[in-house]
Amino acid sequence: MKEKLRQNALDSYKLVDTLPEQSYDNITQIAAYICNTPISLITMLDYNRNFLKSHYGVDFNESPREISFCTHAIKNEEAIFIVEDAREDPRFKDNPLVTGDTKTIFYAGVPLIDKKGHALGTLCVFDHQPRKLDENQIRTLIALANQVVSLFELHKQHLENKNLQENLIKKNELLKDFAGVVSHDMKMPLANIITTTDLLKAKYKQFLDEKGLDYLNYLKSSSFSLSEYINGILQHYESDNLSINQREMFDLHHLLEEIEEMVNSDYATVIQMPEENVMVNCNRAALYQIFINLIGNSIKYNDKEHPLIKISFEEIEDYYRFTIEDNGIGISKEKIVNIFDLFSVAIEKDKNGNRGNGIGLSTVKKLITNLGGTIEVESTLGVGTNFTFTARKDDVPLQVVPGNAICELENK
């Protein structure tokens, strides 16, 4: 039973029959040098063989377990197992390793013990003549064996992390597929609910009292909120498809003006463009989603009589840097900590009384990460909020577009 547990422990490391690695070979070379022996091995005792993870001084990588000195070493309760002259030891004097061409006379092996106390193998040294080890050599050999076990543990942890990462990727793909299917399947019924609500109001308005009309309005408003929520989920998961390598040259002012038309159609908010218009080489679709979220939030969460948004741009080393500054209601310090977490809502309701879904800023963070950049936020309650984010540049030089130095879009 004990041997079965030991073998299961060895199997869990998945090191048997792996290729040589320099980190292990360095240890056997040092062990041979310290002990002044011609041979040093890192062994792993498999079912019926002795697999050599590292072998210094011999040209084979496994040997039969039944004649192995290491089989005795792993059963030894001491920190190190030493045979100074195997010819005089009744356990080994007739061993083929001693009587044959190998002429194994001296052996010292330190069991490689894992965290659960299982002896997986040894770090050992051999000589063709009798030998003794002094205290310094023994202590050093034990210390080197501990390093071997640490390498084993790192290897095992790497495998576990790799498996975990693969499982997370699979689960994330399944979640994305599920979100996509569910979202698309829900959009049509929601559109039907909204259309039906309008038809009911138009056809049966004279038969409904004020409360009945309020119910219809609430039904339509809730349907729009759910539709917006679904669109947010789709954008969040589809944002993974927008990468830094999908680049194109485009006019920054044209992009911002297009967004302005979308989110500020009544021109109630003054939006100041960057002072200098430029052509940038970036993922336009990703940048569009980032700006439409940030600028849209600056408009929705603004309680000032004269809402103002300032957008600035600069080129810094390998990055484009953008800043969106508003004079809105601001965000409290305790909310900023989790502001980019999925479904985290910093402000309960916007200026129209609508509640956010906590998807937009999480999507923004993912998109910016995909563009090789970072995002930071500074905010003061009652004063306003600044979002600053970067996107990694390509090697194409920045081009300044001739025209007005500043484009200020006000009430029209």
Please state the domain extents for the chain. Answer: 2-157, 163-222, 243-409
Q: What is the pLDDT of residue 332?
A: 87
- Give pTM, 2 decimals: 0.51
pLDDT mean over 173-189: 68
What are the tens digits of pLDDT across the range 228-257? 666 666 666 665 666 667 788 989 999 899
- Joined together, the tokens standing for residue 197 give 């609500």
**CA 321 and chain centroid, separation:** 24
Q: Which CATH number fits domain 2-157: 2.40.110.10, 3.40.50.2300, 1.10.10.10, 3.30.450.40?
A: 3.30.450.40
| Beta-strand relationship, 308-316 and 270-272 | parallel
Q: What is the pLDDT of residue 130?
A: 96
| Beta-strand relationship, 39-45 and 49-56 | antiparallel
pLDDT mean over 177-192: 70
Q: Count of CB atoms within 10 A of residue 411's CB? A: 9
Q: What is the pLDDT of residue 50?
A: 93
Q: Which of the four pLDDT bands, split at 50, 70 and 90, describes residue 405?
A: very low
pLDDT at 324 over 90: yes
- Joined together, the tokens standing for residue 323 give 């800043």
What are the tens digits of pLDDT across the range 214-226? 878 878 777 766 6
- The residues, any chain, with a CB within 8 Å of residue 101's CB and separated by 6 or more, are none
Do 270 and 234 touch, CB atoms closer than 8 A? Answer: no
pLDDT mean over 27-37: 96
pLDDT at 398 over 60: no
Q: Is the dihedral of CA 262, 266, 269, 273 positive or negative?
A: positive
Q: What is the pLDDT of residue 157?
A: 92
Q: Do domains 2-157 and 243-409 have the same CATH topology?
A: no
Q: What is the pLDDT of residue 409?
A: 38
Burial class (CB in 10 A: 0-12, 13-18, 19+), 403: exposed
Q: Which of the four pLDDT bands, split at 50, 70 and 90, describes residue 81?
A: very high
pLDDT at 352 over 80: no
Q: Which of the four pLDDT bands, split at 50, 70 and 90, describes residue 387?
A: very high
Q: What is the pLDDT of residue 411?
A: 36
pLDDT at 35 over 90: yes
Q: Cα(97)–Cα(380) distance, rounded to whole angstroms? A: 79
Residue 122: strand pairing partners: 43, 111
Q: Which of 167-171, 228-232, 307-311, 405-409 has the highest mean pLDDT?
A: 307-311
What are the tens digits of pLDDT across the range 261-295? 878 877 789 999 998 888 999 888 888 889 988 99
pLDDT mean over 123-139: 95
Q: What is the pLDDT of residue 57?
A: 93
Give me the CATH code for the 243-409 domain, please.
3.30.565.10
